[in-house]
Amino acid sequence: MSPDSAAIPRRIAILTGGGDCPGLNAVIRAVAKTAMFDYGMDVYGIEDGFRGLIHRNAHQLTSADVSGILTLGGTILGSSNKDNPFDHSMNVNGQKQRLDVSGDCVEYINSMGWDALICIGGDGTQHMANKFHQLGVRVVGIPKTIDNDLEATDLTFGFQTAVDTATEAIDKLHTTAMAHHRVQIVEMMGRYAGWLTLYSGVSGGADVILIPEIEYDLEVVARYCKDRSRHGKRFTIMAVSEGAKPKGGEMTVAKVVSDSPDPVRLGGVGSVLAEQIAELTGLEARATVLGHLQRGGSPCAFDRLLATRFGFAAVEYLAQGQSGVMPALKGADIVPVKLEDAVSHLKLVPPDHHVIRAARALGTCFGDEPEA
C-alpha cells in the first residue's frame, strides 16, 4: 500500500522503556534513518523512557547521532522501569502520592508538535503505549525483551543475544563443575516465563532445567543428581529460571520496589536450591547468578537484523496512517498486530512445548515426574 502523503507524520518521537537489552540502539538507528531519509521527518529522542515524557526531557536526533550505534548494547536514549505516567509516584505537599499525569504528557507531546510516538519496550511499555493510543496519541510500539514473554510475536529482539550469553556461561561452568564434581546451578532472568532458561539450558546441555511453568519436586531433582553421581557422572549442571518454584510453593522474591509499576523483583532461587541440594544429596553445590550480564553486550547478528526490520516497519506503519499497532515476527514475516492483542496476557512456555519434549527425550530433568 503506498503511503498517503497527508497521513505521513512530520515529527515523531522515540522512547525506550523498561529494562535495557541488546538491540535497542539498532532499533533507534533503523527508526531514525528510515524516518529521516525515506520520509524527511524530524525525529526526537525522549530521554530515559516515560520518565523523559513526564519530566519533559527530549532532544532532536541527527543522522550523526544514530550512526555507528548498530553494534552498541544499551540505549543512547537511556531507559527507566520505574515511571508510569498513569500511576506516577510524586511528592505533593510533603506527602508521597500516586497520580495520573498522562494528561500532562499528552500536552507535552502536542506542545512539541510531535505527530506520533514510537515506544520500544516490553509488556509494561506496550501497556502504556496502548493507553496513550486510547487517549488519541498516534502510537506504534516495538516489542523488546530478553524474556520473550510478549504475546503476538514469535520472538522479541534481545532474546537471542541473551540466550547466547547464558549458553556461553553454561559452557564455561561445565569445566569447573567437572573439576570439582559439583552441582553447578545457573540462575537466569525471565521473570514469570521460562523461555530464556529453556533455550539456553538446552543449548548449553544443562542436565536439569527448572522453569516457572513446571513446578519442581525437590526430591525428584535431588534423586536425579544422586543418580548421575552414582553412575559415574560426577557433576550436574542446572539451568534455573529466577521464577522457578517448588511444587505447591512460591517464587523466591529478592525484594519489593514500591515505586515501580512492577514492584516484585525475583531472585535468589539458585542459592536456596544449592543449600537444599547439598543437604539432601551430600554433594557440593554452588550457585551462579548471571543477572544483568544477560542484558549487556553487543547484539548478535539475528537481533541486529530483527531490530532493523522492526524499526523500519514501525515507520512504515506510521506513514500508512496506522496507530495502536506494533510490528511482530510471524514465521519469517513482519506483520502489524494490535497493541491490545499484544498485551492481553504474557506468553508462557507450554509444558508440552516441542523443545521441552526434545530435551526430555535426551534425558533432561525438569524437576517433575513426567507422564509415561
pLDDT tens series, the chain, 372 aa: 445 555 789 999 999 998 889 999 999 999 999 999 999 999 999 999 999 999 999 999 999 999 999 999 999 999 988 889 998 887 777 778 889 999 999 999 999 999 999 999 998 999 999 999 999 999 999 999 999 999 899 999 999 999 999 999 999 998 988 888 889 999 999 989 999 999 999 999 999 999 999 999 999 999 999 999 888 788 899 999 999 999 998 888 877 766 666 677 778 899 999 999 999 999 999 999 998 888 999 999 999 999 999 999 999 999 999 999 999 999 999 999 999 998 888 999 999 999 999 999 999 999 998 765
The alpha-carbon radius of gyration of the chain (Å, integer) is 22
Query: Helices 123-134 and 102-111, interaxial angle, to 10°?
Result: 70
Could you tell me the pTM of the whole model? Answer: 0.91
Structural domains present in the chain:
11-157+299-331 (3.40.50.450), 161-296+350-361 (3.40.50.460)
Task: Enumerate the β-bridge partners of residue 99.
Answer: 88
Tell me whether residue 123 is one of the annotated catalytic residues.
Answer: no
- As given in the structure block, the three cell numbers for residue 195 are 523461555
Task: Report the C-alpha dihedral over residues 193, 195, 198, 201, rounded to 10 degrees.
Answer: -110
20, 147, 149, 207: the catalytic one is 147
Q: Is 13 helix (H, G, I), strand (E, B) or coil?
A: strand
Task: Report the C-alpha dihedral over residues 185, 187, 193, 199, rounded to 10 degrees.
Answer: -60
- Please report the beta strands in the chain, taking only residues with DSSP state E, as ranges in sequence order: 11-16, 42-46, 58-60, 88-92, 95-99, 116-121, 139-143, 183-188, 208-210, 236-241, 253-256, 264-266, 285-289, 325-330, 333-338
Q: How confident is the model at residue 1, as a pLDDT?
A: 42
- For 162, 201, 309, the CA distances from 348, given in Å and listed in that order, are 17, 16, 24
Q: Please give the Cα distance from 285 to 182 (Å, whole number).
A: 5
Q: How far apart are the first and last CA of the chain?
A: 52
Q: How confident is the model at residue 337, as a pLDDT?
A: 96
Q: Please give the Cα distance from 34 to 39 (Å, whole number).
A: 7
Q: How confident is the model at residue 93, as a pLDDT?
A: 76
